[in-house]
Amino acid sequence: MTFSELGLSERVLKAVEGAGYVQPTPIQAQAIPHVMQKRDVLGIAQTGTGKTAAFTLPMLSLLESGRARARMPRTLILEPTRELAAQVEDSFAKYGVNHKLSVALLIGGVSFGDQDAKITRGVDVLIATPGRLLDHFERGKLLLTGIEVLVIDEADRMLDMGFIPDIERICKLVPFTRQTLFFSATMPPEITRLTEAFLHNPVRVEVSRPASTAQTITQSLVASGGKDYEKREVLRGLIKNAEGLKNAIIFCNRKKEVGVLHRSLLKYGFEAVALHGDMDQRARLAALDSFKNGEAKLLVASDVAARGLDIPDVSHVFNYDTPHHAEDYVHRIGRTGRAGRQGSSVTIVTPIDDKSLAAIEKLIGQKIEWTGEPVEDAPRRSREDRGDRRHGGRHEAGRKPSGRDRRDSGEARKEPADHHRRAAGRPQQAAPAPRPPRYAEEHEPRRSHDHDASDARVVGMGDHVPSFLLRPVRRSG
């Protein structure tokens, strides 16, 4: 099948031909004809399969007729991150070279004034993150009553980032008669509920089972100790010995770890840049451009780079941290092996990652091969070794028993002989006086609620009255 068989306009076909594409991907071949028929589409496909072009190309064909009005965009595309939104904007610039459509980008980290100016002139395509879009709407700068096509991209990522309430609100603000295109790599129950509520008789397009990995990716596991310096040493060895490494994305679970690892790699002479959610927009775009242009071979990133970034020629992906959520593993390694190219992914596994690894292998439906010896499970101590005093008062193996342990076990306290000799020359101290009954009552263990009804009830301060309350009161005058 070729693009000319999908019903696209002549202008779009010329742009596709100029970009060097001949055959559509499976998601494009199945989704584009339904979009051209103005049907709602539910697209499910793994990352790197061309989902962006699956809605960009037909939207350009549909928008050739009509004109945008001030503050009333004709189409709306929602993306979970700034990078994905900017990438979709690049796709419209790439495939829309023969069109005179206006495109606006509403993302955080950019001046409201510049964005308001574009909206005021009227835009055909509005690409936005949910939060910034609602900010403009609440300021009265944007009307959504003219939306003809609504695209919700990377819906499962929207769920992970907590955007689902915003998505539900936006869907209620756009016209009921709009066309909705919904794309996701996985279909958790929350996403299924969303599609049932806001899609009207959608065509389900599924080119691969949810959460599957591309066959072009070679996956492997490498064992490491649990210390951070041990993992960094393992990673440096993997980078130096990787076969055919052109560039690589290194994923960490935490933004703080991204900074630490980035500085470590620079210290050891590696060309690396960092990318995470706390960076401002200019720094994030600069890091991405540096990596795309080949100025930096390594990109150390959080999961902000795991979804949908179109960097087609990434040779390796290293999971410095085993992802806590199995779906994140699919998206991370999907950054390599794209567009039919061969890719390689390596995951560093520590003894505490056994549950995460088991969840990943269960999700993708296959066992991942180990490079070298498999990691040993973290040692699990028995109840007796943990020193659980609730079960016999046993102490941990190898730990010196405390005084309480010795008393509980009946072990006699041994003291050196010279201690007794020194004690013999000292005057014997008098035994401590017994505590008064009142003191004993105040410090005895708390009684249970089912105490004897004959217990005396203490009123006020009981028998004890502070002396200052017994002083006579002098009346003035």
Q: Where along the chain do its domains lie?
A: 3-206, 217-370
68 close to 102: Cβ distance less than 8 angstroms: yes
What is the tens place of the pLDDT at every residue in 88-98? 999 999 999 99
**Exposed/middle/buried for 436, CB within 10 Å: 0-12, 13-18, 19+?**
exposed
Q: Which region among 52-61, 332-341, 441-450 has the lowest average model confidence (pLDDT)? A: 441-450
CA-closest candidate to residue 369, choices 471, 222, 266: 222
pLDDT at 308: 55
* SS3 call for 154: coil
Portion of the chain with pLDDT greater than 90, in percent: 53
- In angstroms, rounded to a whole number, what is the distance separating the alpha carbons of residues 151 and 170? 11
Mean model confidence pLDDT for the chain: 81
Consecutive H or E run containing 284: helix 281-292
pLDDT at 184: 87
Q: How many CB atoms lie within 10 A of CB 235?
A: 24
- In angstroms, rounded to a whole number, what is the distance separating the alpha carbons of residues 181 and 199? 8
* SS3 call for 48: coil
pLDDT band at 461, cuts 50/70/90?
low
List all residues 6 or more positions away from 82 whose beta carbon is below 8 Å from its beta carbon. 107, 108, 109, 129, 281, 284
Residue 353 has pLDDT above 90, yes or no: yes
pLDDT band at 464, cuts 50/70/90?
low
pLDDT at 259: 93
For domain 3-206, the CATH architecture is: 3-Layer(aba) Sandwich (3.40)
Residue 112 has pLDDT above 70, yes or no: yes
List all residues 6 or more positions away from 190 whose beta carbon is below 8 Å from its beta carbon. 159, 164
pLDDT band at 106, cuts 50/70/90?
very high
What is the tens place of the pLDDT at every residue in 358-417? 999 998 889 999 988 787 654 433 333 334 434 444 343 344 444 444 444 444 444 444
Q: How many CB atoms lie within 10 A of CB 139?
A: 10
3-206 and 217-370 share one CATH topology? yes
Distance of CA 222 to the CA centre of its chain: 22
pLDDT at 409: 40
Write the single-letter amino acid at 375. V
CATH superfamily of the 217-370 domain: P-loop containing nucleotide triphosphate hydrolases (3.40.50.300)
CA-closest candidate to residue 306, choices 281, 314, 220, 215: 314
Extract the tokens encoding 137: 């709407």
What is the tens place of the pLDDT at every residue in 297-328? 999 998 877 765 667 689 999 999 999 888 88
More confidently predicted of 408 and 86: 86
H-type helices in 10-111, by residue range?
Answer: 10-19, 26-36, 51-62, 82-95
Residue 283 has pLDDT above 90, yes or no: no
More confidently predicted of 204 and 156: 204
- Name the CA dihedral angle for 367, 307, 323, 290, rounded to a multiple of 10 degrees: 110
Highest-pLDDT range among 36-50, 130-144, 208-222, 402-416:
130-144
pLDDT band at 459, cuts 50/70/90?
low
41 — alpha (psi -120 to 50), left (phi > 0) or beta?
beta
Q: Which region among 132-141, 229-238, 273-282, 466-475 has the lowest average model confidence (pLDDT)? A: 466-475
pLDDT at 460: 57
pLDDT at 451: 40
- In angstroms, rounded to a whole number, what is the distance separating the alpha carbons of residues 183 and 375? 37
What is the rounded average pLDDT of the residues 342-366? 93
CA-closest candidate to residue 202, choices 228, 184, 224: 184
93 close to 43: Cβ distance less than 8 angstroms: no
Q: Which region among 125-134, 185-194, 445-454 has the lowest average model confidence (pLDDT)? A: 445-454
